[in-house]
Structure 1
Amino acid sequence: AEALEEIQPGEEHRAFYHLSVPKKLIVMAGGILTNLVLGIVLLAVAIGVVGIPGRTTTLSTVTPCVSSNIDADAPCQDSDPTGPASAAGIRAGDRIVSWGGVKVSSWEELQARIAAGGTSPTQVVVERDGAERTVSVTAVEVQRTVRDSQGAPVKDASGAVRTQARPYVGISPSLGTIPQSPGKIPVLIGQAIGGTLKAIATLPVGLYHAVQAALGIEQRSVDSGVVGLVGMGRMAGQATSGGAAGGGEVPLSMRVSTMLMLLGSLNLALFAFNLVPLLPLDGGHVAGACWEGIRRSIAKVQGKPDPGPVDTARLLPVGQVVFGLLIVMALVLVWVDIAAPL
């Protein structure tokens, strides 16, 4: 209501439109930059302090035997040989410090070291109850199913599932968080910002695919980058709950990390969305101030009188249309989140 009040006599100089273009940009871009800073800080804390959710080198299980069908998790039989890790005295809860003399900090590094070591006796350092101990592990060669990047079995031309001989020690990782090095933090944040900007730039396409998924025509994918309020609420609930989809317990560190990254991503989304140069978004007001600066600069170079501030009120009908479209999009995404939840 105050914005619609008439300017009282003698207060004309206090009107916002009398500010210089740089001052207008500072005021108008304040919200945009706040979202950007909050997003970067939240993601930096999640990535560098709490850590990224993933598989850690702390073991959740140690297989007691080498079963006849490892990929099918077949139960141990009396005739099955003892698992290499179990035979070496490694227990569930142990943290693998190094494998074959090389320190490992992630499950992927550990897998690479196991593959490189083959079936030769390997010195392994584990941490148990705060103390380190060295054991000797001799992997055995077994046939494992070849899987693609999505975890699906790879088949040959005849349709048979492909297998490959690999070293096997019989250990499984536990879920947790892995703090990243300082050098990786800006890289990962940059990727997050780039992905968010791409999602905003392709918003109509993402919305189209989301509607297609709600109609059952295609499968909804997280890669579309379009999530509504209901979807965000559901993800926040999943992040703060202690249960996993498989019935297990999600570590607190993973819940904290997921929630921080969710909040950080939300702020980056608000930052990117407000960059769109359309009223009533902040980007529309910034675009108006930039156009005012360009007009005044051109007039100054040409020696013409100052054209004065840009009257953005003329774009009010455009702003009303955009506002209406935003409401429609929000309602459509609510329907999509209910009909085809992620």
Structure 2
Amino acid sequence: MTVLAFVIGVVLLVIGLAVSIALHEMGHLLPAKKFGVRVGQYMIGFGPTLWSRRFGETEYGFKAIPLGGYISMAGMYPPAPDATSRGGRAAGGFFATMVQDARVANAETLEDVGTKRAFYELPVWQRVIVMLGGPTMNLLLAFVLFGIVVSGIGVQTATTTVAEVSVCALPASTTATECGPDDPASPAAASGLQPGDVLVSVDGTPVSTFPDASALIQDAPGQTLQVVVERDGRQLTLQMTPMLAERDVVGEDGEITTAEVGFVGMTAAVEYVREPIWEGPRIALDRTGQVIGIIAQLPVKVYETAVDLFTGQERDPNGPLSVVGAGRIAGEVAAIDAPVLNRAAAIIELLAALNIALFVFNLIPLLPLDGGHVIVALWDGLKRAWAKLLRRPPPKPVDATKLVPVTFAVVIALVVMGGILILADVFNPVVLFG
């Protein structure tokens, strides 16, 4: 059953990632068609085509390697004035040949439609919308997914309802699970507290959450407190004296430390509390800031991951992952011993985090990423605005094919970093569940 659950978790993540990629490309496709650009292909994946079908002028399909997707728009780059004839070979070596091949391939996209339906002929603002459409879809999808988790499923919250009362007070360091004859009764049991009681106030202070009650109890070891509870529709006042005990305490920063605090021996009932609808987008934006920090240090983070891979050190759980690592975590989440709703929420949250990563990563201002195309469009617009300001003739469109060598270097860097992360996720995976 555990193996089957692991496989189901991986499959669900793969399907979710494929949907995320499809929506990303749809974010490019819809505005491109709206603005009249001819779109020849809409493909999910790379490599050999597994299935495709043409609707109108666009071929839609799936390819063998599900690590991304693309749409093919006519005239992504303006034709270069020095372009040689089709099939000719450019002088100047490897990179010059790459530039020429890009120009030839670009010219082929314009053969049937000419320049009127070319991407580069769009106004700058329309080109920016087309290129930002993909990342925006990922961000919106993250909003929805986080919203499903916190507003649809809800956040597990310790309520003021008592779930269990410990019979005795066991030391924090013990491995025993049952009370011995010498173990003292817990203060909660001695006071008469029962499962199902609802905490109303502690020592005269009303409490609305279990952490509120815990904080008051932990701060009062050895002091007799009046604890008001609601039981069977009526309120009772119990006398409870917390004992001094060593327990794990969660600080304001979320860090868990061991300290000597007041202890009574009760646990809270946990319920799913649904957050307001705006909480999902807020969490997504918070995560976006965290991912920006990781992406900004990506080369360093990947280097550290490579060092951990070869030295066998434990990896940073907040470091970058490949698709393999994300799939592995999804499988482990699906296989853990927890309620189905908990596991479903964790996988949805993981998929939301991946969409945040896609959003941020694609905004990096380097070709062939979407952010690189946005920078080219803005540079083109800036040149035109400057020429208009100086009352000069409109300049020729920016020849982005000259940046093909830079694009090639970026692709190689991404392949190398991706390969390192995949190897690390296979041989030295991130450990989240012990």
- Per the shorter chain, which TM-score range? 0.7 to 0.9
Q: Which structure 1 segments of 5+ residues have no match?
A: 154-162, 245-249
1:317 and 2:405 aligned? yes
Question: Is 1:222–2:317 an aligned residue pair?
Answer: yes
Q: Is the 8 A contact 1:96 1:104 kept in 2?
A: no
**Does structure 1 residue 291 correspond to structure 2 residue 379?**
yes
- Sort the Cα spacing of 1:230 and 1:44 in 2 relative to 1 into closer, same or farther, 3 A: same
1:235 corresponds, among 329, 347, 350, to 329
Kept in 2: contact 1:210–1:336 (CA 8 A): yes
Counterpart of 2:149 in structure 1: which amino acid?
A: A
Q: How does 1:90-169 map to 2 (within 5 A)?
A: 90-91=193-194, 94=196, 96-100=198-202, 102-105=206-209, 107-116=210-219, 119-125=223-229, 134=236, 136=238, 138-144=240-246, 150-151=255-256, 153=258, 164=260, 166-169=261-264
Measured in 2, the distance between the counterparts of 1:301 and 1:254 equals: 59
Corresponding residue number in structure 2 for 1:160: none
- Select between 252-261 and 283-292 the one with higher mean Cα deviation: 252-261
* Cα distance between partner residues in 2 of 1:338 and 1:54: 35
Deviation at 1:66, TM superposition (A): 2.4
Q: What is the deviation of 1:132? A: 7.6
1:170/1:137 Cα in 2 relative to 1: closer, same or farther (>3 Å)? farther
Alignment check: 8 A CA contact 2:192 2:238 kept = no
Q: Which residue number corresponds to residue 168 of structure 2? A: 65
The aligned residue for residue 69 of structure 2 is none
Deviations 1:287-337 (A, max 9, x none): 111111111011111111111322222222222222222222222111111
Identify if the C-alpha distance between structure 1 residues 240 and 7 changes in structure 2 by more than 3 Å, giving closer, same or farther. same
| CA shift in 2, pair 1:61/1:257, >3 Å | same
Q: Quote the residue 1:338 is aligned against.
A: 426
1:199 maps to 294
Q: Is the 2:312–2:428 Cα contact (8 Å) retained in structure 1?
A: no
Q: 1:57 to 1:181 in 2, by over 3 A?
A: farther
Distance 1:207 1:138 in 2: 54
| TM norm structure 1 | 0.80
AA in 2 matched with 1:235 = I
Aligned-partner residue type, residue 232 of structure 1 = A
Q: 1:222 to 1:185 in 2, by over 3 A?
A: same
Q: Partner of 2:116 in structure 1?
A: 13
Give 1:97 deviation, angstroms. Answer: 4.6
Letter of the aligned partner of 2:363 in structure 1?
Answer: L
Separation in structure 2 between the aligned mates of residue 42 and residue 70 of structure 1, nearest angstrom: 38
Whether contact under 8 Å (1:42, 1:264) holds in the other structure is yes
| TM-score after normalising by structure 2 | 0.65
- Secondary structure (helix, strand or coil) at the match of 1:123 reads strand
Distance 1:88 1:334, change over 3 A: same
What is the alpha-carbon distance in structure 2 between the residues aligned to residue 298 and residue 55 of structure 1? 61
Q: Which residue of 2 aligns with 1:157?
A: none
* Pair 1:40 & 2:143 matched: yes
- Give the whole-Å Cα distance in 2 for the aligned partners of 1:179 and 1:73: 36
Instruction: Report the CA distance shift for 1:171/1:46 in structure 2 as closer, same or farther (over 3 A).
Output: same
Greater relative contact order, per chain length (Cα 8 Å cut-off, separation 6+): 1
Q: Deviations over 1:133-184 (max 9, x none)?
A: 646251332231577865465xxxxxxxxx63x3221123566655445676
Q: Root-mean-square deviation (CA), in Å?
A: 3.1
AA paired with 1:168? F
Does the Cα contact within 8 Å between 2:187 and 2:265 map onto a contact in 1?
Answer: yes
Work out whether residues 151 and 274 of structure 2, in 8 Å CA contact, stay in contact via their aligned partners in 1.
yes
Partner of 1:275: 363
> What percentage of residue pairs aligned between the two structures are identical?
30
Please state how far the C-alpha of 1:88 moved relative to its aligned partner: 4.5
Q: Does the residue aligned with 2:393 lie in a helix, a strand or coil? A: coil
Change (3 A) 1:207 1:126: farther
Aligned residues of 2:217 and 2:242 also touching (Cα < 8 A): no
Q: Tell me the CA shift for residue 221 of structure 1.
A: 1.3
Q: Which has the higher strand share?
A: 2
Q: CA 1:176–1:265 in 2, change beyond 3 Å: closer, same or farther?
A: farther
Give 1:85's match in structure 2, choosing from 172, 183, 188: 188
Counterpart selection for 1:329 from 411, 414, 417: 417
Equivalent position SS for 2:200:
strand
